[in-house]
Amino acid sequence: MIVVSTTINDVKIIQPNIFSDDRGFFMETFEKKRYQEALQINLNFVQDNYSHSKKNVLRGLHIQQTKPQGKLIRVIMGEIFDVFIDLRDQSPTFGQWSSIILSEQNKKQLWIPPGFAHGLFVLSDTANIEYKCTEYYHPEDEICLLWNDPDLNIKWPSMTPILSIKDKNGLLLKDFLSLRIK
């Protein structure tokens, strides 16, 4: 597998080894020791999530405030525009965001460490996303940032996404930062 750093500190793109022939393909999507070594982490994944969404759905930008989740994300079917924002206080890339296209075709995986807000926008007719988390989901600890916060200025593929009520009512980054537990 090939691991590539992104412009955001500690976020990695993983290109698994793919073995293809006329029958199809095989790829290893996770092996604990190999991934811990390649990503230089000593975290355990405790929960797997699976999401199905239709075209133009935007999910996010979500973060757990006191129990942050690291996420290993991959697309099983379809294509997404995946966004991550560094909200780790001591990080040199604090407050910065970046994005990547993840798809069933490119088979890339994305490692987002704990302390990031995360969101995605579905580009294909539907998309199935699977992600491993390093912390359990705690709904009472989750915060949603406003997807179109002008201070973040994220360049989404569409400015008319399909949103949940929670995502429509997200906090501005400056309000989130003023509420954070230090």
pLDDT tens-place string over residues 123-173: 999 999 999 999 999 999 999 999 999 999 999 999 999 999 999 999 999
How far, in Å, CA of 182 to CA of 175, rounded?
Answer: 14
**Average pLDDT over the chain, rounded to an integer:** 96
> Regarding the domain delimited by 44-179, which CATH topology (the fold level of the hierarchy) does it fall under?
Jelly Rolls (2.60.120)
Q: How many CA atoms lie within 13 A of 85 on its CB side?
A: 25
Catalytic residues: 62, 131
Q: Examine the pLDDT at 182 and tell me if it is beyond 70.
A: no
Q: Examine the pLDDT at 93 and tell me if it is beyond 80.
A: yes
Residue 29: partners with Cβ closer than 8 Å, 6 or more residues away: 16, 74, 109
- Is pTM, for the whole model, over 0.75? yes
Q: Would you say 96 and 68 are in contact if contact means Cβ atoms under 8 Å apart? A: no
Show me where the domains of the chain are located. 44-179
Q: Would you say 167 and 147 are in contact if contact means Cβ atoms under 8 Å apart? A: yes
- Element housing 123 (H / E): none
